[in-house]
Amino acid sequence: MPELPEVETVRRGLAPVMEGARIAKADVNRPDLRWPFPAGMSERLTGARIERLRRRSKYILADLDTGESLLIHLGMSGRMLISGAKLGAFAHDHPAPEKHDHVVLHMDSGARITFNDPRRFGAMDLLDTATADAHKLLSSIGPEPLGNSFDESYLVQALKAKTSPIKTALLDQRIVAGLGNIYVCEVLYRARISPLRKANKITKTSVEALVPIIRQVLGEAIEAGGSSLKDFRQADGDLGYFQHSFDVYGREGAPCRTPGCTSAINRTVQSARSSFYCPKCQR
What residues act catalytically?
Answer: 2-3, 58, 273
Torsions phi, psi of 167, nearest 5?
A: -60, -45
Interhelix angle 204-223/152-159, rounded to 10 degrees, is: 120
Please give the Cα distance from 276 to 188 (Å, whole number). 10
DSSP annotation of 129: G
Contact 104, 114 (CB under 8 A): yes
Please give the Cα distance from 71 to 62 (Å, whole number). 7
Contact 57, 177 (CB under 8 A): yes
> Closest Cα partner for 195 from 90, 91, 279?
279
- Reported in sequence order, the residue ranges of the chain that DSSP labels E, i.e. its strands, are 23-28, 50-56, 59-64, 68-73, 79-83, 86-87, 90-91, 101-107, 112-116, 123-128, 266-270, 273-277
Chain Cα centroid distance, residue 252: 24
Chain Cα centroid distance, residue 139: 17
Please give the Cα distance from 163 to 151 (Å, whole number). 21
Please give the Cα distance from 68 to 52 (Å, whole number). 11
Please give the Cα distance from 242 to 220 (Å, whole number). 8
